[in-house]
C-alpha cells in the first residue's frame, strides 16, 4: 500500500489543486491533501482572515487565476514545494501513521468500493428523477385542470433549477460538518419532498416540491466526487469516477423510459412514490454502511478530542482551514458570482454551455408531445423516445474520454500543453449540434419513420457531451486554484437557462412548426461554432491580459 500519510505531508501544488477540484471546492480550502496556502504562507500563521488568505495566496501563486496552470503540466509539480511548512509543529494533529485505520484511504477494498457503489447509485437516482415523469406531464395537467403550456414545460425543468441553488449551500456545509451528515439530511429530505410531490393537490404545491427535490437531490452531485477522492487512491480513481459519472450522463435519459411504463400502469403519482421508495432504501443503506470520509473533519474531531483529553488548547488539525462559516459561505456564493461577471473566459464558456443545456431541456419538455402528436405513441412507449439521446450521450462520453486523453497526453509529452488544447473536441461538438437539430426537427416535421428523428437525437446527445465535458476540463485547467468557483458559476447559469428557456418552447413549435422551430435553435448554435476556435487562438492572450480579484 502506498504511504497514505504522504498525501498530507508531501502534497505538491498540482496534487492539492487536482484533489480540491475532485472534492468540488477551491484549493485554498483544505482537501485531503492540504491547502494551497500551506505552500504560500509562513509557519507562524495558524488562523487567517478572509483578506489575509486572499493576499497570501495572491503572493504565493506564480500566476493569476485566469493565466492558469494545468493540472497535468509537469511545470506545476516542479514549481511546488515538497512539504507544508507546519510539519514539525508539535501542536499539529495528523494521522498516527501511514497505516492509521482512521484514515479513509486505509479502509479495506470491500468498504471502499461498497461506498463508491452506494454513492454512484444515489447519483444515478437523483438525475433520473429530473425527467422520469416527463411522459406523465399530460396526466399531471389533466389532474390539476391546467391548460397553461408554460407550466407544462416548467414542471419538468424546475427540478434542475434546484440543482443550481442547492449546491451553493450544500458545498460549504459539507466542509464544515463533513459529507456524511449532508448525505443523511439531504437523502431524507429528498424522500420527504418526493412523497410531497406525489400527494400534491394543486399545481403550485407540485412545482414548489419539485424545486425543493432538486435542491436536495443535488447533494450527491455536489459531494459524490469528493467522497470518491477521499477513499480511492489516484491510480484507481479514474475507474471509480467513470462509474460515478454514468449517473449524470444517462440517468436523465433512462428515467423517462422507466417512468413511461410505470405511469401508464399506475399513474403519474407512482413515479414519485417509486423514486421515494428507492431513495429511502439507499438512505437506510447509507446510515448503516457509510462512514465519514472527509479528512479535514475527521482530523478536526481528533484534535477536539485530544484538546479535551490533554488540556492543550493549542492543538489543531493539520487540515484546519482557519475559515469561519461566514467566510466559507462567502467563497461558495460570492466567488462564482464574480467569476460570472468579471472573468471573460468563464463568461463565454458559461454562456455556451447554458445555451446547449437549454436545448437539452427543450427536448426533455417536448419529446412527449412530439412523439404523441406526430407518431401517435401512447403509454409507456413514449418513454422510449429518450433512448436516442441517452445512446448518443454514452458514445460522446466514451469518445471524449478516449480521444481527449490521447490529445492531452500527446501535448504533455511534447512539453507544449495549454488549456486551450482541451477545446479541440468542443469544436467537433459545435458542428454536430446544428446537424442534430436540423436532422431531428425536419424529420419530425416530415413524419418520417420514428427511427430517423431518434438518430437525430443521438447526434444531439453526442454533441452535447462534446460541449459539456471539454468545457468543464478547460475551466479546471484555466482557473486551477479557483476551478470549483468557475465550474459553480457555469452550473448556476446553465441551470437557470435550462429551467427558464424551455418555458417558451411549446409556443415556438406551435408558431414555427418542428422543422423551423428546431432550425431556429440550429441557427443560434451555428453562431456558437466560432467560440472554441477563437479561444484556441486567443485564449492564452486573454488569460495573460485579464485578472480577477476574488
- Domain limits of the chain? 106-292+326-545
Q: Label residue 3 by pLDDT band (50, 70, 90).
A: very low
CA angle 142, 145, 146 (to 5 degrees): 95
Place of cell 478516449: 402
Partners of 93 in beta bridges: 317
- Distance in angstroms (rounded) separating the CA atoms of residues 407 and 416: 12
Q: Answer for the pair 402, 53: CB distance below 8 angstroms, yes or no.
A: no
SS3 of 31, please?
strand
- What angle do the packed helices 424-445 and 505-528 form, to 10 degrees? 140
Counting runs of H as helices and runs of E as strands, what totals does the chain give? Answer: 23, 2
Q: Label residue 193 by pLDDT band (50, 70, 90).
A: very high
Give the pLDDT of residue 189.
95
Give the pLDDT of residue 349.
92
For residues 349-365, average pLDDT: 88
pLDDT greater than 50 at residue 71: no
Give the pLDDT of residue 314.
82
Q: Label residue 197 by pLDDT band (50, 70, 90).
A: very high
State CA 410 to chain mean position distance. 27
To which CATH superfamily is domain 106-292+326-545 assigned?
A: MFS general substrate transporter like domains (1.20.1250.20)
Mean pLDDT of the chain: 81
End-to-end CA distance of the chain: 40
537-540 long-range contacts, CB within 8 A, separation 24+: 539/345, 539/418, 539/419, 539/420, 539/423, 539/478, 540/418, 540/420
Give the pLDDT of residue 518.
93
Phi then psi for 52, rounded to 5 degrees? -60, -45
Place of cell 448503516: 288
Tell me the per-residue pLDDT of 106-150, one tens digit each, with 9 for 90 and over. Answer: 888 889 988 888 888 888 898 888 888 888 888 899 999 888 878
pLDDT greater than 60 at residue 457: yes
For residues 220-230, average pLDDT: 84
> Which grid cell sits at 546?
485579464
> Which grid cell sits at 327?
467566510
pLDDT greater than 60 at residue 305: yes
Q: Burial, 520: exposed, middle or buried (Cβ in 10 Å; 0-12, 13-18, 19+)?
A: middle
- Distance in angstroms (rounded) separating the CA atoms of residues 533 and 468: 16
* Better-scored residue on pLDDT, 404 or 125: 125
Please report the DSSP string for 295-331 in residue order. Answer: HHHHHHHHHHHHHHHH--TT-EETT-----HHHHHHH
Give the pLDDT of residue 491.
83
- Distance in angstroms (rounded) separating the CA atoms of residues 469 and 473: 6
Give the pLDDT of residue 427.
92
Q: Burial, 265: exposed, middle or buried (Cβ in 10 Å; 0-12, 13-18, 19+)?
A: exposed
Highest mean pLDDT among 71-75, 90-94, 389-393: 389-393
Q: Burial, 69: exposed, middle or buried (Cβ in 10 Å; 0-12, 13-18, 19+)?
A: buried
Tell me the per-residue pLDDT of 35-68, one tens digit each, with 9 for 90 and over. Answer: 776 655 544 444 444 444 444 444 433 344 444 4
Residues 6+ apart with CB under 8 A from 151: 141, 203, 207
- What angle do the packed helices 234-266 and 109-131 form, to 10 degrees? 40
For residues 388-394, average pLDDT: 89
- Distance in angstroms (rounded) separating the CA atoms of residues 550 and 539: 21
- Distance in angstroms (rounded) separating the CA atoms of residues 285 and 298: 21
Q: Label residue 7 by pLDDT band (50, 70, 90).
A: very low
Highest mean pLDDT among 60-74, 185-199, 476-490: 185-199
Q: Label residue 168 by pLDDT band (50, 70, 90).
A: confident
% of the chain surpassing 90 pLDDT = 23
Phi then psi for 394, rounded to 5 degrees? -65, -45
Please report the DSSP string for 51-110 in residue order. Answer: HHHHHHHHHH-SS-TTT---TT-HHHHHTS-SS-TTTT-TTEE--SSTT-TTSGGGS-HH
pLDDT greater than 50 at residue 72: no
Residues 6+ apart with CB under 8 A from 142: none
Q: Please give the torsion angle defined by the CA atoms of residues 339, 342, 346 and 351, in that order, rounded to the nearest 10 degrees.
A: 110
Give the pLDDT of residue 150.
80
For residues 274-297, average pLDDT: 90
Q: Label residue 82 by pLDDT band (50, 70, 90).
A: very low
% of the chain surpassing 70 pLDDT = 85
- Distance in angstroms (rounded) separating the CA atoms of residues 103 and 28: 22
For residues 287-304, average pLDDT: 87
DSSP 34: B
For residues 273-280, average pLDDT: 94
For residues 227-255, average pLDDT: 79
Closest CA to 129 of 198, 179, 185: 198
SS3 of 448, please?
coil
Picking from 54-63, 430-439, 516-525, which range would have the lowest pLDDT averaged per residue?
Answer: 54-63
Highest mean pLDDT among 4-8, 19-23, 271-275: 271-275
* Better-scored residue on pLDDT, 486 or 78: 486
Give the pLDDT of residue 38.
62
Q: Burial, 1: exposed, middle or buried (Cβ in 10 Å; 0-12, 13-18, 19+)?
A: exposed
Q: Label residue 548 by pLDDT band (50, 70, 90).
A: low
Q: Answer for the pair 317, 300: CB distance below 8 angstroms, yes or no.
A: yes
Give the pLDDT of residue 531.
93
Give the pLDDT of residue 480.
76
Q: Label residue 176 by pLDDT band (50, 70, 90).
A: confident
Closest CA to 465 of 392, 415, 370: 392
Closest CA to 404 of 474, 351, 483: 474
> Which grid cell sits at 368?
412527449
Picking from 20-29, 213-222, 301-310, 419-428, which range would have the lowest pLDDT averaged per residue?
Answer: 20-29
Amino acid at each position: 500500500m502506498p504511504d497514505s500519510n504522504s498525501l498530507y505531508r508531501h502534497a505538491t501544488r498540482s496534487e492539492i489543486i487536482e484533489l480540491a477540484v475532485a472534492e468540488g471546492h477551491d484549493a485554498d480550502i483544505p482537501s485531503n491533501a492540504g491547502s494551497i496556502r500551506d505552500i504560500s504562507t509562513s509557519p507562524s500563521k495558524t488562523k487567517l482572515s478572509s483578506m489575509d488568505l486572499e493576499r497570501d495566496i495572491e503572493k504565493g501563486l506564480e500566476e493569476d487565476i485566469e493565466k492558469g496552470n494545468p493540472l497535468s503540466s509537469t511545470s506545476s509539480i516542479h514549481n511546488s514545494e515538497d512539504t507544508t511548512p507546519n510539519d514539525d509543529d508539535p501542536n499539529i494533529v495528523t494521522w498516527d501513521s501511514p497505516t492509521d485505520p482512521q484514515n479513509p484511504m486505509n479502509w479495506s477494498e470491500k468498504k471502499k468500493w461498497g461506498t463508491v457503489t452506494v454513492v454512484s447509485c444515489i447519483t444515478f437516482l437523483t438525475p433520473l428523477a429530473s425527467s422520469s415523469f416527463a411522459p406523465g406531464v399530460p396526466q399531471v395537467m389533466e389532474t390539476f385542470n391546467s391548460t397553461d403550456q408554460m407550466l407544462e414545460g416548467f414542471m419538468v425543468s424546475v427540478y434542475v433549477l434546484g440543482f443550481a441553488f442547492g449546491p451553493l449551500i450544500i458545498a460549504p456545509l459539507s466542509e464544515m460538518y463533513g459529507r456524511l451528515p449532508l448525505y443523511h439530511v439531504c437523502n431524507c429530505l429528498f424522500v420527504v419532498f418526493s412523497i410531497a410531490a406525489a400527494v400534491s393537490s394543486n399545481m403550485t404545491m407540485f412545482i414548489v416540491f419539485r424545486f425543493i427535490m432538486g435542491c436536495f437531490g443535488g447533494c450527491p452531485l455536489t459531494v459524490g466526487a469528493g467522497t470518491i477522492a477521499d477513499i480511492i487512491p489516484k491510480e484507481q480513481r479514474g475507474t471509480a469516477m467513470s462509474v460515478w459519472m454514468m449517473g449524470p450522463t444517462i440517468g436523465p435519459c433512462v428515467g423517462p423510459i422507466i417512468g413511461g411504463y410505470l405511469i401508464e400502469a399506475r399513474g403519474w403519482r407512482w413515479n414519485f412514490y417509486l423514486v421515494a421508495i428507492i431513495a429511502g432504501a439507499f438512505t437506510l443503506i447509507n446510515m448503516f454502511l457509510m462512514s465519514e470520509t472527509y479528512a479535514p473533519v475527521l482530523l478536526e474531531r481528533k484534535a477536539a478530542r485530544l484538546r479535551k483529553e490533554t488540556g492543550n488548547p493549542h492543538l489543531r488539525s493539520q487540515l484546519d482551514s482557519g475559515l469561519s462559516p461566514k467566510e466559507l459561505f462567502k467563497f461558495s456564493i460570492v466567488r462564482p458570482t464574480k467569476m460570472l461577471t468579471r472573468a471573460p473566459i468563464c463568461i463565454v464558456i458559461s454562456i455556451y454551455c447554458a445555451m446547449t443545456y437549454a436545448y437539452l431541456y427543450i427536448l426533455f419538455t417536448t419529446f412527449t408531445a412530439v412523439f404523441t402528436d406526430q407518431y401517435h405513441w401512447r403509454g409507456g412507449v413514449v418513454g422510449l423516445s429518450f433512448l436516442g439521446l441517452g445512446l448518443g450521450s454514452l458514445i460522446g462520453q466514451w469518445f471524449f474520454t478516449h480521444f481527449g486523453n490521447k490529445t492531452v497526453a500527446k501535448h504533455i509529452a511534447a512539453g507544449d500543453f495549454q488549456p486551450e488544447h482541451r477545446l479541440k473536441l468542443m469544436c467537433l461538438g459545435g458542428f454536430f449540434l446544428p446537424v442534430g437539430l436540423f436532422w431531428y426537427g425536419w424529420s419530425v416535421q416530415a413524419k418520417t419513420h420514428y427511427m430517423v428523428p431518434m438518430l437525430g437525437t443521438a447526434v444531439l446527445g453526442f454533441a452535447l457531451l462534446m460541449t459539456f465535458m471539454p468545457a468543464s476540463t478547460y475551466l479546471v485547467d484555466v482557473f486551477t486554484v479557483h476551478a470549483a468557483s468557475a465550474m459553480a458559476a457555469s452550473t448556476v447559469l446553465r441551470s437557470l437557462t435550462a429551467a427558464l428557456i424551455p418555458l417558451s418552447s411549446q409556443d415556438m413549435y406551435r408558431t414555427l412548426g418542428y422543422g423551423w422551430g428546431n432550425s431556429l435553435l440550429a441557427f443560434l448554435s451555428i453562431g456558437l461554432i466560432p467560440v472554441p476556435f477563437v479561444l484556441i487562438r486567443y485564449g492564452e492572450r486573454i488569460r495573460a491580459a485579464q485578472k480577477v480579484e476574488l
